[in-house]
């Protein structure tokens, strides 16, 4: 007898053997036990989760001559014929290769014939979403009111592609991804019966790789069973063509340390060893997700599926970074994984992602850059450093104001004996403005050697910024065609103000809509590297509009995005 692969050999023989879909098997078993089966069922869910197996079990159970509590007896003549594959009354149709209306018309005509052996003629239509529109229309009437001896079971992985007219005529059952623990437990039972030396760690590794599909898990076990000796996690990883996951820890350590050279060298080595870069990006996202759980949840062991030594490593590495930093890395990796789907050079995309992750706010390792470079890189500093500068400046102002109050009290000229005691107190008030230049000196210098607050600088880059804005948001860019811009630095908020001058009165309303202002800010940041606020204005030579309140008018023109 020829060898039979494990996923076929271990196909469920009754509903009790179906793994991870108890909410479905219990409902079907109770309906069969009470004789209340529907005429059409729709099974939907990810691949390898038991849709076809449950459809076959349903077909077997409705034709069983002596069912036991809704389960097929597996002993009667009909069950035996079914197990041999000779049951003429059960037809499995692959809709992917029988998509036409003529195929469904033939099915509809054959449905009128009585069963040859069993009680029901059961039609199992797999991948039903592949049927054409005409085929769906031909199936509608028969699916809604089939002959009493006919039962339909439709199976699909893409239920959103089915017409609502089909959905409304079926009882729908949604199959879930099987948990890694349930898959690992089933693999352990199969391995024990097949005399495969499988360790619990290896079973869990296969279960995670299968991503919720039992058929995939059994296929992977079938692939690994030829290994000599015990199937350990390391041996299974090698057999499946995936190295151990230590490279994920090394790459994450390099990102957290701000070591771009180490990241690029590791990517080079992984690429040379034929590791797909898109897969690396997805693995990094899963790895960072586990780190985030350990960094934010007190007891995350139950939420992370991994071997014991891997969990210990995850806990250790999660202590090296705050959740905000991990989230930032996840965002970069998610963008890289999306870009790699359409990129011709996936390695370059991964390298760029690592460099971006290090250059992003919070990505520079402490002490990694010389102190002289910090001021020049101020627009790209992390938010925390900006807040620390603000706090230091405020503390400096408070200290200087306090010192000024003390000095004025000491240096105030003494009043003559004959003078009233309260008379000299009034001249002390004008002394406060004299301290203002000293207080302003405590403000950190603006980035890039910018001028003091209030001094206006031209923006020769404005045409280039508009081109960048046009590429990102063509409709909104049209209102800025004849615009000009200048910039000033606001030391009270440590950012730039870009003043936009345009005769188009729609600039203000346009920038208030959707992401238009954000897209323009991003274009300015891409060209100049500056974090800005936007202030639209009429042209400089235009006559000012009469406004009842100048402050209210300024607020109406100002658009502030923090």
Whether residue 359 is predicted with pLDDT greater than 60 in this model: the reply is yes
pLDDT tens string 325-349: 999 999 999 999 888 888 889 999 9
pLDDT tens string 488-544: 887 666 678 898 988 888 888 888 888 888 889 989 988 888 888 898 888 776 555
**Can you read off the two tokens belonging to residue 151?**
């039962």
Whether residue 24 is predicted with pLDDT greater than 90 in this model: the reply is yes
Q: What is the pTM of this model?
A: 0.56
Q: What's residue 362's pLDDT?
A: 57
Q: What's residue 289's pLDDT?
A: 92
Question: CA 263, CA 270: separation in Å to the nearest integer?
Answer: 11
Poorest-pLDDT segment among 61-75, 302-316, 423-437: 423-437
Q: What's residue 243's pLDDT?
A: 56
Whether residue 393 is predicted with pLDDT greater than 90 in this model: the reply is no
**Concatenated DSSP letters of 424-479:** GGGGGGGGGGGGHHHHHHTSPPPGGG---TT-EEE-TTHHHHHHHHHHH-HHHHGG
The whole-number average pLDDT for the span 344-372 is 71
Whether residue 56 is predicted with pLDDT greater than 90 in this model: the reply is yes
What's the maximum distance between 2 C-alpha atoms anywhere in the chain? 129
pLDDT tens string 221-255: 998 888 888 888 878 877 876 656 789 999 999 99
**Can you read off the two tokens belonging to residue 26?**
């219990």
Q: Determine contact, residues 149/121, Cβ cutoff 8 Å.
A: yes
Task: Give the CA distances from residue 507 to residues 92, 516, 538, in Å, rounded to whole numbers and listed in that order.
Answer: 63, 10, 9
Task: Give the CA distances from residue 154 to residues 171, 365, 368, 416, in Å, rounded to whole numbers and listed in that order.
Answer: 10, 56, 60, 106
The angle subtended at Cα 344 by Cα 338 and Cα 348, nearest 5°, is: 75
Q: Determine contact, residues 180/208, Cβ cutoff 8 Å.
A: yes
Whether residue 350 is predicted with pLDDT greater than 70 in this model: the reply is yes
Rg (CA), the chain: 36
Q: 36: how many CB neighbours lie within 10 A of its CB?
A: 8
């Amino acid at each position: 007898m020829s060898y039979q692969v494990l996923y076929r050999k271990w196909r469920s023989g009754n509903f009790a053997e179906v793994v991870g879909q108890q909410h479905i098997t219990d409902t079907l078993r109770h309906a069969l036990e009470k004789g209340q089966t529907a005429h059409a069922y729709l099974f939907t869910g990810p691949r390898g989760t038991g849709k076809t197996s449950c459809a076959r079990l349903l077909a077997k159970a409705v034709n069983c001559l002596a069912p036991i509590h809704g389960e097929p007896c597996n002993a009667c003549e009909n069950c035996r014929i079914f197990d041999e594959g000779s049951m003429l009354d059960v037809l499995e149709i692959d809709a992917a290769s029988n998509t036409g209306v003529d195929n469904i018309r033939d099915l509809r005509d054959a449905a009128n014939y009585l069963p040859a052996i069993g009680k029901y003629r059961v039609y199992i239509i797999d991948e039903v979403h592949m049927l054409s529109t005409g085929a769906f229309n031909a199936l509608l009437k028969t699916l809604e009111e089939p002959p009493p001896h006919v039962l339909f079971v439709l199976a699909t992985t893409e239920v959103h592609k089915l017409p609502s007219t089909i959905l409304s005529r079926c009882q729908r059952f949604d199959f879930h991804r099987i948990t890694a623990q349930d898959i690992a437990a089933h693999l352990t039972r199969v391995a024990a019966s097949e005399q495969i030396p499988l360790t619990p760690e290896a079973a869990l590794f296969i279960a995670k790789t299968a991503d919720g599909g039992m058929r995939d898990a059994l296929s992977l076990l079938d692939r690994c069973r030829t290994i000599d000796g015990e199937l350990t996690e390391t041996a299974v990883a090698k057999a499946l063509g995936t190295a151990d996951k230590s490279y994920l820890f090394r790459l994450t350590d390099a990102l957290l340390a701000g070591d771009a050279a180490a990241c690029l060298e590791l990517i080079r080595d992984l690429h040379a060893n034929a590791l797909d870069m898109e897969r690396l990006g997805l693995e990094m996202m899963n790895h960072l997700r586990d780190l985030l759980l350990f960094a934010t949840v007190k007891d995350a062991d139950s939420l992370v599926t991994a071997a014991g030594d891997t969990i210990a490593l995850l806990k250790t590495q999660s202590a090296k970074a705050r959740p905000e930093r991990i989230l930032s890395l996840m965002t970069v990796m998610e963008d890289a994984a999306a870009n790699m789907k359409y990129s011709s050079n996936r390695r370059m995309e991964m390298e760029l992602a690592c460099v971006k992750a290090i250059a992003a706010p919070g990505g520079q390792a402490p002490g990694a850059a010389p102190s002289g470079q910090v001021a020049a890189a101020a627009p790209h500093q992390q938010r925390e450093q900006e807040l620390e500068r603000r706090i230091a400046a405020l503390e400096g102002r408070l200290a200087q104001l306090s010192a000024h109050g003390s000095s004025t009290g000491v240096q105030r000229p003494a009043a003559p004996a004959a003078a009233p005691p309260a008379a000299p107190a009034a001249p002390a008030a004008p002394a406060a403005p004299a301290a203002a230049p000293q207080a302003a000196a405590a403000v950190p210098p603006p980035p890039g050697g910018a001028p003091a607050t209030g001094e206006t600088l031209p923006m020769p880059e404005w045409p280039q910024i508009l081109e960048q804005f046009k590429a990102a948001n063509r409709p909104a860019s049209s209102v800025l065609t004849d615009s000009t811009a200048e910039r000033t630095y606001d030391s009270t908020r440590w950012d730039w103000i870009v003043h936009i001058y345009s005769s188009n009165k729609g600039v203000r309303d346009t920038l208030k809509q959707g992401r238009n202002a954000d897209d323009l800010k991003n274009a300015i940041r891409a060209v100049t590297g500056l974090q800005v606020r936007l202030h639209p204005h009429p042209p400089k030579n235009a006559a000012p509009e009469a406004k009842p309140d100048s402050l209210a008018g300024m607020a109406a023109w100002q658009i502030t995005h923090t």
